[in-house]
Every structure is written in C-alpha cells, then in structure tokens.
Structure 1
C-alpha cells in the first residue's frame, strides 16, 4: 500500500504539470511532464514533500529507466523512412553542435564555480 501512496504523489505532480501546461499554452509551450518534474523538484528541495514519500517508487523508476525508453525507440523505428532519407545529416549536425554547446556551457559553469571556491579559500 505504501508504494501506491508514493506513486500517487508522483501522479499528482504529473497531473499538476499537465494542468499548468494547458494554462500557459497560450504564451509558451512546455510539456506538462517537464513542468510536473520541476514542481516535484521544488517540493522536494524546499521540504514541502519529504523524500520518504516518493523514495521507493522513484528508485524503482530510475532502476528500470531503460525499459521505459523502449516505446520511444520503437516509435523512432516506425519513422525510419523519414529519418533515413536526406534528414540524417541534419540530425548529425544538430547532435554535434548541441553536444559541443552543452559541453562548453557545463565546462564554463564548473570552471567558474571552481574559481569561486578557490577565491573564497584564498581570502580566509
């Protein structure tokens, strides 16, 4: 019964995200699942929802994440003729450019945090 309660909490936040997504869809399109995850993160971060209320089900979901990606992979394979045409090189360019940008952004943020901590240590 405890696992059902934990699943209930996750579904509540997912449902809240879907509702908010519908409300803000006139201004910006953000998937409800993303909004729900952000709300769940904030609730956990600010101790509105204790981690114990979602820990077991959350661990189970992350342990079985590969299994949950199977439908998305099958969906891609059903559209293989679209992806296999002249689109593949565009996807490769997008893949490399976004990967390079993400690596640059993460590297910059991490380096600034390291410099910030070293400067704090030097001031003491």
Structure 2
C-alpha cells in the first residue's frame, strides 16, 4: 500500500505538471514542470523524502525500461532518418560532451565553494 501512495504522489506531480503546462499553452514541457513541482513540494516540506523515496528509487533503477518505446519509435522511422544518421550522431556526441563539460564545471565550482566555506569555518575556530 505504501508504494501505491508513493506512486500516486509522483503521478499527481506529473498531472500537476501537465495542468501547468496546459495553462502556459505548452511554453514549458510538462515533465519538467512536474519535477519542478515535486522539488518545490520537497523544499517546502509539504512532501517528505520518505513519502516518495522507495518508489522513486525503483523507477530510477528500472529507467531503461522507460526508454524502450522511444527506441522502438526510432526503429519505426529509421528508413526516414537513415540519410541524416551522421548528423544525428554528431549532435548526440556534441551534446553529450557539452553536458559532461557543464557537469564538470558545476562540480568544480561547488567543490571550490565548499572548500572556501570549510576554510572560513576553520579560520573562525
């Protein structure tokens, strides 16, 4: 029963994201708005982490399952995109490198800020 309640809460955030996206006339993707809604609820402590943690972990561990429809959809249109496959792969590679670089830069900045915070705390003692 616990997992059903957690799933219902996660689905409610998804539906909320859909509703907000519809109100904004699709200006922002509903999945992003749903996750933002969940984040806001967690930050405001309207939802506690233990209310969604088990089901969210299960979904993350089985994420590959959710990519199957997209992969099968690509197989359906492969004949149409065959001529553009190199361009598509180049874009995938470039965006992967950009994402890795942005992640590395973010981690570097956060570690630098944490190190500075630790030094300031050490100086105060």
For residues 52 and 118 of structure 2, the distance between their equivalents in structure 1, rounded to whole angstroms, comes to 38
For residues 29 and 50 of structure 2, the distance between their equivalents in structure 1, rounded to whole angstroms, comes to 27
Residue pairs, 1:38-53, within 5 angstroms: 38-53=36-51
Specify the alignment match of 2:9 in structure 1.
9
Change (3 A) 1:113 1:54: closer
- Structure 2: runs of 5 or more not aligned: none
Work out whether 1:100 is the aligned partner of 2:122: no
For residues 23 and 90 of structure 1, the distance between their equivalents in structure 2, rounded to whole angstroms, comes to 35
Among 3, 20, 29, the residue aligned to 1:31: 29
Structure 1 range deviating more: 52-61 or 75-84? 52-61
Alignment root-mean-square deviation, CA: 1.9
Change (3 A) 1:68 1:102: closer
Specify the alignment match of 2:80 in structure 1.
82
Deviation at 1:83, TM superposition (A): 2.2
Q: How many residues align?
A: 121
- Deviations 1:66-103 (CA, angstroms, capped at 9, x unpaired): 22221111111111112212x11211221222122222
TM-score normalized by structure 2?
Answer: 0.81
SS for the counterpart of 1:69 is helix
- Structure 1: runs of 5 or more not aligned: none
- Deviations 1:40-85 (CA, angstroms, capped at 9, x unpaired): 1221233210122222322222222222221111111111112212
TM-score normalized by structure 1?
Answer: 0.82
Residue pairs, 1:105-116, within 5 angstroms: 105-116=102-113
Deviation at 1:37, TM superposition (A): 1.2
